[in-house]
Chains A and B, each alone.
With several copies, the nearest count.
Chain A
């Protein structure tokens, strides 16, 4: 890629219009936050995603989806990021959909996702830092199925989810990729304790506790002990997607800030005339452009199933998180006092960046993977 095709441009326009009209901060984020919604997003909007076909962006055509890829998902996610639109798009239509792909679980779950009825979540982390190899949640064979015991945290949309993809250990030891198995656990499973947690950005994540949660053998996604494969696919899609969403967060914050620089007067001049701010804004702009190029490149490589995709996904998430962090910090600082108020939207970008930047590994995690994958 590196340049969008006409089809991709059309999809981008559509997403931009849809989210710019229906997914705004006022209508969605603030509305659900201020009404104390337990899901943190609106099911009506999720239905609209479905009507536009977007819930099926990554689902194969022969299973009813659009059969598009990470690139198209990235275009949608950038607009989601720009509008801070709360939705289960990233976890459900991007990460979980890729995790389920080709595992035989698609038939069971894709129709609900396509219809905008099903919300999916990934349950990976067991400690405060992302470390998927360290999975310790135990899945013990029992009869024809498994019994799960352990705990998960930072399960985004975990309390609203109809489907939770749970990473468990059926063999090996924490730290190993072998012996990991991915389970599709349904809402309301007996013995599953769900604590709905509000995060800094008003989104919801769950802490899950598994007390002898019994699942059938057909809850296994992919192979027993071979869960690393679908998990990696889900994580690659999710991380590349979160990179794209972070680019949107960064661009949204930056645009808002540049607009403010052109409107706010101090000392009889527009503050955008002050050279120190100009240079910082120009630097920020460069960083965001570069982050977007990295996110697109990662998506392109994923779509081509290229061997460099893994490396570039790490790069994209790290770069996007750093650029977005710079964008929100510069954004709040350049807004001055008003930027500190809850009333102004710029602070919402800062909060979102904190959560999204940490999801599935913060920038340090991803930079470390770059070093490790490259053998230094």
Chain B
């Protein structure tokens, strides 16, 4: 047996013992995810146990170095682990912006001290992070942000407002873009980390058309932040921000089909009486299965370091547009049943609310228009893009 075969056999055996059966059942919705953090209440013993054993091995972040709480796996091993997890239908032990967004940015731009301080907490799911990027006046034009961060000698003083902060009301810490200089648009931005319990931080959930409030407005009123919590250097946060955005898009594109994964929509819907709808669903399934193939290919490219840096934009664009189409079709198949907004029959209007929720997919994390512009500029190299 090669080393890799040995690793596979051992991993399989270990998972067999350590992955609780409940954690092998498909997630019914996003609500089943484990986010961790100081305020987290585990939904079951199985959920707690699965996080603990995986974190213990560093397998919440299998390819991070062991020193920072990771598994220290080689890319090939990491792939084997993914395959084995997929084979038993294991749920992700931890869903976290710390893992998918901040972690990669810290690994690349953080100081040694920052890595040792923040990464292990992320790996163990002890601190839940949120992202302070967008502002009311700066949506797609992210670099236009105005949240002011002044150097007060022994600390930073932050004043301003963020918007679209996902789960800010449930997060422990924030990674935040702030303006440390007005002299240059992109060159006056810094990337700052701080505790959401710092005095002067407040959040206000935003009610969405779906009736859910996954986002907040977040206000900073004379928030004091220690000096060593800037990542990547003062006024050099834009590079960190962009790097992190790529990872965010990878994550979003990975979620592309939401809870659907590679399951055929037509199978999910059961008998489709309307032949016209059936045709549309089949056309959708063609696109969705093709996109799933692309996602696998992209992930392999990524892990092999061969992915074009703008590819996440392409994936994010295609995946989110597909997901919107998916939910349009689910609504069409559900007919007037799915139009019920808060009946028990629809579990409180779940189909319609999820459908409306997907409309944000092509806006959050950079609009579809922004992604197409990035593809045009960085992949096609069109002039003036």
Residue positions of A touching B, CB distance < 8 A: 2-3, 125, 127-130, 153-154, 197-200, 202, 205, 258, 261-262, 266-270, 272-279, 281-283, 285-286, 289-291, 293-294, 296-297, 311-312, 314-316, 318-319, 322, 329, 332-333, 336-337, 339-343, 347-348, 350-351, 354-355, 358, 362-368, 370-371, 374-376
Contact = CB atoms under 8 A, between A and B. Distances in A.
A358 B272 contact: no
Given A129-B273, A364-B274, A364-B332, A293 B339 contact: no
Contacts of A312: 289, 293
Contacts of B349: 200
Contacts of B48: none
Interface in B303-357: 304, 306, 314, 317-318, 324, 331-332, 334-343, 349, 352, 356
Contacts of A311: 289
A333 B208 contact: no
B209 A337 contact: no
Given A129-B335, A273-B383, A281 B207 contact: no
A285 B375 contact: yes
Contact of B282 (A281, A336, A367): A367
Nearest to B373: A278
Contact of A341 (B209, B281, B335): B209
A2 B364 CA distance: 29
6 contacts: A3-B301, A258-B380, A282-B317, A290-B294, A367-B286, A374-B264
Nearest to B209: A347
A290 to B, nearest CB: 5
A276 B293 CA distance: 28
Interface in B268-288: 269-279, 281-283, 285-287
B242 interface: no
A285 B339 contact: no
> Which 5 A-B residue pairs are closest in the complex by CB-CB distance?
A128-B335, A347-B209, A294-B290, A297-B293, A282-B375
B382 A258 contact: yes
Contacts of B364: 337
Interface of B: 134, 139-141, 144, 163-164, 206-209, 211, 264, 266-267, 269-279, 281-283, 285-287, 289-291, 293-294, 296-298, 300-301, 304, 306, 314, 317-318, 324, 331-332, 334-343, 349, 352, 356, 359-360, 362-364, 367-369, 371-373, 375-376, 379-385
A282 B376 contact: yes
A296 B359 contact: no
A243 B374 CA distance: 28
B285 A371 contact: yes
A281 B293 contact: no
B163 A127 contact: no
A272 B381 CA distance: 9
B374 to A, nearest CB: 8
Given A128-B334, A315-B289, A368 B282 contact: yes
A367 B342 contact: no
B382 A342 contact: no
Contacts of A258: 380, 382
A359 to B, nearest CB: 8
A258 B385 CA distance: 13
Contact of B297 (A293, A315, A318): A293
Given A3-B301, A340-B359, A342-B209, A367 B276 contact: yes
A374 B266 contact: yes
A15 to B, nearest CB: 20
A337 B278 contact: no
A198 B340 contact: yes
